[in-house]
Structure 1
Amino acid sequence: MPRLPTTLLSSSRSSCSIRIRCPAVIRPPRTFASTSAVEPTIFAPATGRGKTAISILRISGPDALNVWRKMTKPPRKPLQEEQAVVAASSPPRDPPARRAMLRRIVHPTTDEVLDEGIVLYFPANSALTAQPTLELHIHGSPALMELLLQLLPTLPGSFRIAEPGEFTRLAFEAGKMDLTEVEGLRDLVEADTEAQRKLAARQAGGQMRKSYDAMRASIIEATSLVEALIDFGEDEGISEGIFEQARDKVQALRDKIKRRLADGRRGEIIRSGIHLAIIGAPNAGKSSLLNWLAQREAAIVTSTPGTTRDVVELSLNYHGFPIIVADTAGLRATKDEVEAIGIERALMRADTADIKLCVLSLPKVFADSTSTSTSLEAQIDPLTLSLIDSHTLVLLNKVDALHITSEHLDAITHALRGEGKAWLGSESEQPFWQLSVRSELGLREFAEGLKGELQKRFDLSDDVEDTPLVTHARHRRHLEECETYLSAFLELDPDDIVLAAEELRYAVLALGRITGAVDVEEILGEIFSGFCIGK
């Protein structure tokens, strides 16, 4: 086999040349606009809008200390301890690092006292942004915050308002956070439920980065073995068994990635919300069930069939899980144009739901049967029947209007199984949930059952290996790319060792794009634009 240079190898997938050696970390260049060639000092509120007890104004950049010097003064009655600390600091008027100091906030030109609050200073070596950072903890007056935002650009230096996510981006560019931690921090800020908070906290804390780094290290080890064969195999006689060792490492990693990708999108669902669709025939009790789950009159309930014409959707924090519940139009054949559109939307929503709640009205299901019949037959409308699958919980409503027996349950089971249906709980001791939404009979038991189903599917284990690794579509895309390259490597034999090394390099690059270990400028705008201004 001809020897190739060990520094560069032309890529068949790209017009550029790619190094055989593992690519080093490449941080993207700064792209934030500035009106000056001087490094800007950025500022923004770090707390939400509106009247609050405390608001925080964050300033980061080379001129941050100008705010301390021009806009703060000692309190009306300085504490002896503060006087001693300030006197010992160098220069004398600069604040001590990481110490909460009580100061008067003043107008930079008139010395008018605007407020009195806490000032915190973080030098560049301890600030998350790797720049001198000052925080003003002031009283939460919107008028006061607005005034300070107007005054800061008048100070000496290059001050400007921060762009969305700019503080966090500075931390990323300084190497103090990777992209998964950045996304985890954004998800943590936006978390509404305990499940979302728990998942985001783990990601922001670096747990996912460690998993991806371990995967990347495994590919690099395999790459090193293959490169050793390219560089020294023929001369040093070390080729025996080396390629097989690399294959074993790659095989194990590919299997692990496949398992991660086959997670049912659990992490992405928790992050964005678990979609539940309530389906069934008209007047089955769907809207009443939605109102009970919401604990308010979210949907109109009447005795007239077809009241719900469109999808009524609301978000709930259900025992710590983020759920998005959709009440859909009653399923039936109709010539009413508006109702037909509503039914079409109901079918579309049911098709994308993570869990379906199929509500069957018992009096309607057994409308043509009597309790004295020797052979009960359950009549389930075809549209509803077509939507029942392994993601469906079947609720038998209006048990207070029909004395239900084991024969009724057997008839419903027979009707479903006769159509080849399997539903959630179909093989358990309790295949159906029997309830009356109107009288709230059986609803508490159903609520506990739904909670148990959510826990079984989406609860986060304390075991790191059981934690969803894929929380964003971006992660899934790059993992799929990595798995493709690893599979391509496994299809090659030692005679194609140069091509095999190339596949491993592309696998390393795919994983690196998840954490930001390689140039990812094209996705940074999307990630950081989702942040609030002061983050």
Structure 2
Amino acid sequence: MWRGLWILVARAARGPCRPCTRQGSGAPAPGSGATIFALSSGQGRCGIAVIRTSGPASGHALRSLTVPWDLPPARRACLRLLTDPCSGEPLDRALVLWFPGPQSFTGEDCAEFHVHGGPAVVSGVLQALGRVPGLRPAEAGEFTRRAFAHGKLSLTEVEGLADLIHAETEVQRRQALRQLDGELGDLCRGWAETLTKALAHVEAYIDFGEDDNLEDSVLEQADSQVQGLEVALNAHLHDARRGQRLRLGAHVVVTGPPNAGKSSLVNLLSRKPVSIVSPEPGTTRDVLETPVDLAGFPVLLSDTAGLREGQGPVEQEGVRRARERLEQADLILAVLDASDLASPSSCNFLDTVVTPAIAQSHNGNSQRLLLVLNKSDLLLAGDPGLRPELSPHLLMSCLTGEGLDGLLEALRKELTAVCGDPSTGPPLLTRARHKHHLQSCLEALGHYKQAKDVALAAEALRIARGHLACLTSGGGTEEILDIIFRDFCVGK
């Protein structure tokens, strides 16, 4: 239905309006830029739907649909009867708002129509706007792209807005809001100011190096500023991809010997029947993945085949894939049957997976592990008798839910270490683009330190400063901008 609706709107926008029985005032001047319109709220039946326009013909469009009324006071909601600008047929009684540029989201003249959310009402208003001269349907992300073009948002703020729209967990929302508020952009601009000062000192030395009035320490000041900036850039580049994990999700792999309760734990954490649970060993033969919200963090949770010598080619392939996923995991949930720790499969799993992972984590490996002893309800005593070197561990029962709160708290702490805490500390790098430009900036600073000629040192600082500018402005590269804006929905 909605695809057909947009076809009708596009056709109406391409063709001239049939002779109208009335004419609004304030039509756009010939040759002026296109004015866009779109449904900005969610599609489908709803209480209120928001349709908005942006561009020089926004005022004309608002007058055309609310004749005989003039434009309402700026940024004040007014109740108006909306009518078709050509036939005069009533469409809806709605709230309208007028945002004259540049005090608007896009920096252009904007109008909003808050109509009743029935499909017929929305369709009628969109088709009416399509018949107003100078208007056309918006493309995906075009409102935000115009805001960026008019200096209302920096590129990092645009990325924060996109992340906020797609945020599904609490920590994603916090991180996106910090970036939308400009924290990452402000940090980059502060670094750029440091480089500007260093460059000014170097260029002053080039221009006035033989002047007795120039201080001898001018180059030392530039070197000190560059050294401090290198420390800051390295700190952000070596954050173990926390920001990207927070935006895209951390990879948590559930592993263990057969019948330890891995599938039961996955179902419990995801709150839905993702995996088949059966007393028969080897039920899970492939990697089953599901996105979940764990303690507010986005997680891709993987249920894997029980680690043992496969009983056939299918199970052997499942075990191979399980071991492959283990190498890719950000966090491993190692599950054992607490009532059967002395079994050969449990001992083999402890020796080949758990013990080496714990040793690697002690040696600074970024991969983390939580040892979960399931089936605590089958223990006669509280202590499962685990080897001391394998502590700490979490004792729980997937059947009764006992110990689940402790596991969730442990997961929260581990995921905070893996993804970072968006509520505290400096802003995180959330995209590969951020890391690329900071790395390139750092390389240019390395060239500055190695330069034998002062003019070459100054050029290295200009290149470094250019990479910082690309973080917030995109550097004028249309391909980069297209990639960033294509993930926005129509109407935003």
TM interval, short-chain normalised: 0.7 to 0.9
1:332, 1:383 within 8 Å by CA — same for their partners in 2?
A: no
Q: CA deviation at 1:403?
A: 4.4
Cα distance in 2 between the residues matched to 1:236 and 1:164: 60
Gaps of 5+ in 2: 1-12, 15-29, 362-367
Map of 1:302 onto structure 2:
278
Cα distance in 2 for partners of 1:182, 1:98 equals: 23
Shift in Å, 1:439: 3.1
Give yes or no for the alignment of 1:478 onto 2:437. Answer: yes
Aligned mate of 1:200, from 176, 180, 187: 176
How much has 1:381 moved relative to structure 2? Answer: 6.2
Please list the CA deviations of residues 58-100 of structure 1 after superposition, one character each: whole Å capped at 9, or x if unmatched: 11111112222221247xxxxxxxxxxx7xxxxxx23321111
Mapped to 1, the partners of 2:65 and 2:325 lie a distance apart of 56
Change beyond 3 A, Cα 1:308–1:503:
same
Q: Secondary structure at the match of 2:239?
A: coil
Contact 2:290 2:301 in 1 (8 A): yes
3-state SS of paired residue (1:182): helix
In structure 2, the partner of 1:135 is 112
**Matched residues in 2 for 1:272 and 1:387: separation?**
28
**Secondary structure of the structure 2 residue equivalent to 1:409:** coil
- 2:407 is aligned to 446
Q: Which residue of 2 aligns with 1:45?
A: 39
Q: Structure 1 CA distance, aligned partners of 2:130 and 2:384?
A: 79
Correspondence list, 1:67-78, <5 A: 67-73=61-67
Alignment of 1:167-182 (within 5 A): 167-182=143-158
Correspondences of 1:243-262 after superposition (within 5 Å): 243-262=219-238
TM-score with structure 1 setting the length? 0.80
Q: Structure 2 matches for 1:399-414, cutoff 5 A?
A: 399-403=376-380, 408-410=385-387, 413=389
Q: Secondary structure at the match of 1:360?
A: strand
For the residues of structure 2 that align with 1:175 and 1:217, how far apart are their CA atoms? 19
- Corresponding residue for residue 423 of structure 1: none
Task: Specify the SS of the correspondent of 1:408.
Answer: coil
Correspondence 1:380 to 2:349 = yes
RMSD between superposed Cα atoms in Å: 2.4
Distance in 2, Cα, partners of 1:107 & 1:407: 76
1:94 aligns with 2:71: yes
1:525 partnered with 2:485 = no
Q: Which residue of 2 aligns with 1:514?
A: 471
Cα 1:344–1:407 shift into 2, 3 Å: closer
Q: Secondary structure at the match of 2:387?
A: helix
Instruction: Could you tell me which runs of 5 or more consecutive residues in structure 1 were left unpaired when the two chains were aligned.
Output: 1-33, 75-85, 87-92, 370-376, 417-425
Q: Is the 8 A contact 2:250 2:418 kept in 1?
A: no
Residue deviations 1:139-183 (CA, integer Å, cap 9, x gap): 11122212222222222x221111111111111111111000000
**Matches of 1:105 and 1:37, distance apart in 2:** 27
Q: CA deviation at 1:111?
A: 1.6
Which of 138, 159, 165 does residue 183 from structure 1 map onto?
159
Q: Which residue of 1 aligns with 2:59?
A: 65
1:361 is displaced (CA, Å) by: 2.0
- Determine the C-alpha separation between the residues in 1 that align with 2:453 and 2:344: 72
CA distance in 1, matches of 2:186, 2:395: 46
In structure 2, relative to structure 1, the CA distance for the partners of 1:343 and 1:73 (3 Å cut) is farther
Question: 2:128 aligned to 148, 151, 158, which one?
Answer: 151
Tell me what 2:5 maps to: none
SS in 1 for 2:49: strand
Distance change >3 Å, CA 407–CA 206, structure 1 → 2? closer
- Residue 80 (structure 2) pairs with residue 103 (structure 1): yes
**Equivalent position amino acid for 2:203 in 1:** E
Q: 1:457 to 1:467 in 2, by over 3 A?
A: farther
Whether contact under 8 Å (1:56, 1:135) holds in the other structure is: yes
- With normalisation by structure 2, the TM-score equals 0.87
Give the percent of matched residue pairs that are identical in Structure 1 and Structure 2.
Answer: 40
CA spacing shift, 1:526–1:294, aligned 2, 3 Å:
same
State the one-letter code of the partner of 2:405. Answer: R
- Verify the 8 A CA contact 1:482 1:506 in the aligned structure 2: yes
Give, in angstroms, the shift of residue 331 of structure 1: 1.5
The one-letter amino acid of 1:145's match is V
Amino acid at match of 2:119: P
